[in-house]
Amino acid sequence: MIVLIESPFDICLITFVFFEKQTMSGTSFFKFIAITAFGLVLLVCCRQPTTKQEITPESNRVTYATGFTISKVENYTVISIVTPGSNTKKNLRYALAENDIVIKNPERYDALIRVPLQKIVVTSTTHIPSLEALGVENSLVGFPNLKYISSKKTRDNISKGYIKELGNNQDINTEVLLELAPEVVVGFTLDGNDKSLQTIEKTGIPVLINADWRETHPLGKAEWIKFFGALYNKNKQADSIFNTIETNYNLAKKLAQKTKTKPTVLSGAMYKDIWYMPKGESWAARFIEDANGAYLWKDSKGTGSIALNIESVLENGQKADFWIAPGQFTTKAQLLEFNTVYGAFDAFKNNKIFSFTTKKGATGGVLYYELAPNRPDLVLKDIINILHPTLFKEYQPHFFEVLK
């Protein structure tokens, strides 16, 4: 007799019939053995399969960034964005899979993305360096406010007509966007309620939120290259790039911590009559601390900017050894033209004011705003060179220059 077996249940059924015949004709002892054996078979082969999906960490696990996670779910990847906007508590989940992979329960995800991507639109200059580092810059087909892009490589693609102007972030040209037909648009949102991005989603183009700007640890911002690595099936490459940046950063920090001096540092500048500077738990303050500098407002709580009157800044910062990042000012003359009180600071008198606003791209974009979040190791070395100029011999700064 030939029996067709199509499932574990068929095996259980056949086993049941066999044991039933044996117990009907056998001795009591054999009946006991048969029933016991059947119970074990039933437990093993007839157990209902679980519907819970296996989740394991991705090989390039996230260590510093707090705004996203990468997980492996069966044979595809899931990126979770943690609280992308200040007014939203809903986390976002994106499923990334190759074309031949079937995603179960797609309704559980905010977007389904087929990877590797071939065409992409990004909306922040901080996204550009990740694309270039991964070697996928040619997949960029559109960007809002092209003039802000500083990278020579991407500017060459703009001049060749490969990347189209999309207007501005608050009002992206949907008609041009649809003609470009990108597979995804990578946006950022300050409040989780960006109407322009909502309009794009209605066209059927998936929108992914990149919240790198919310990270406070310098290496946390840089780690978002893994977000882009997942979109292009370049997880190992993204992991390798980040590991190099992490190693360089920590080596530079370790070297700076060995110096015996800890210079005092002032930062920021006035807007109208209010002086704005980084709070003590901010990204900028962390650089100064890791460069073994004494940021004079390091005890201020929070990660944004602190607003102060000029009297309190003079009282605490007039004798500061260095003044780093004096707003958008590019010369000392501009500082005095705005307010002569700037001349009262020792850092002004001693030519110890350093700014990143003097290094710009061909169309006026500030290089620091684009590249610094992705290369904190270069920023840290610049600041170490400012505070401890004897550590690096013949060092060429990447971002900061003394204000002339």
Q: Total structural domains in the chain?
A: 3
Tell me if the bond preceding 116 is cis, omega within 30° of 0.
yes
Distance CA 117, CA 128 (A): 15
pLDDT per residue rounded down to tens, the chain (404 residues): 434 333 443 444 344 344 444 444 454 444 444 444 444 444 444 444 433 444 555 444 899 999 999 999 889 999 999 876 655 557 899 999 999 999 989 999 999 999 999 999 999 999 999 999 999 999 999 999 999 999 999 999 999 999 999 999 888 999 999 999 999 999 997 565 678 898 999 999 999 999 999 999 999 999 999 999 999 999 999 999 999 999 999 999 999 999 999 999 999 999 999 999 999 999 999 999 999 999 999 999 999 999 999 999 999 999 999 999 999 999 999 999 999 999 999 999 999 999 999 999 999 999 999 999 999 999 999 999 999 999 998 999 999 999 99
Same domain, 29 and 130: no
Same domain, 211 and 356: no
Same domain, 76 and 216: yes
We report the CATH number of the domain holding residue 101 as 3.40.50.1980
Count the helix, strand and coil residues of the chain and give each as a percent rounded to the nearest 5: 40, 20, 40
Distance CA 95, CA 380 (A): 35
User: What's at 345, amino acid-wise?
Assistant: F
Per DSSP, which regions of 189-235 are E strands? 207-209
Q: Closest Cα partner for 322 from 299, 286, 300, 296? A: 296
> Which tokens go with 209?
């939120």
pTM for the predicted model, two decimal places: 0.84
Distance CA 247, CA 243 (A): 6
Residue 254 in any domain: the answer is: no
User: What's at 330, amino acid-wise?
Assistant: T
Cβ-in-10-Å burial (0-12, 13-18, 19+) of 47 comes to exposed
Task: Tell me the CA distances in angstroms from 255 to 62, 215, 217, 380, one per residue in order.
Answer: 25, 24, 19, 11
Q: Which domain holds residue 17?
A: 8-45
